[in-house]
Amino acid sequence: MKATIILIGNSRAIKIPKAVLEQCHIDKEAIMEIEKGAIIIKPAKKEARTGWDESFKEIRRFKEDNLLVSGNVDSDFKEWAW
């Protein structure tokens, strides 16, 4: 696919068709890399568990870190009806 490079201020841009972005699962952010003289554009993936540390500290600070299920639950499932 041939694309025209256009001028946007001091930068350059290439229009990427919506169908191509959808096929590559790119929505609002992308990762751009240069590999062997080629520009590689990949979907930006959110890192797993990013920010969890801060969230846990906030939970602790507001004393909201109580167990939701008591420790008296029958973990052997003997009395559970299936």
The predicted-structure confidence for 20-73, as pLDDT tens digits, reads as follows: 999 999 988 999 999 999 999 999 987 778 888 889 899 889 888 887 777 777
How, if at all, do strands 11-14 and 38-43 pair? Answer: unpaired
User: pTM (2 decimals)?
Assistant: 0.51
Transcribe 6-74 into DSSP letters.
Answer: EEETTEEEE---HHHHHHTT-SS-EEEEEETTEEEEEE--PPTTTTHHHHHHHHHHTT----SS-TTS-
Question: What residue ranges do the domains of the chain occupy?
Answer: 5-43
The predicted-structure confidence for 49-62, as pLDDT tens digits, reads as follows: 888 888 989 988 98
At the second CATH level, the architecture of 5-43 is Ribbon (2.10)
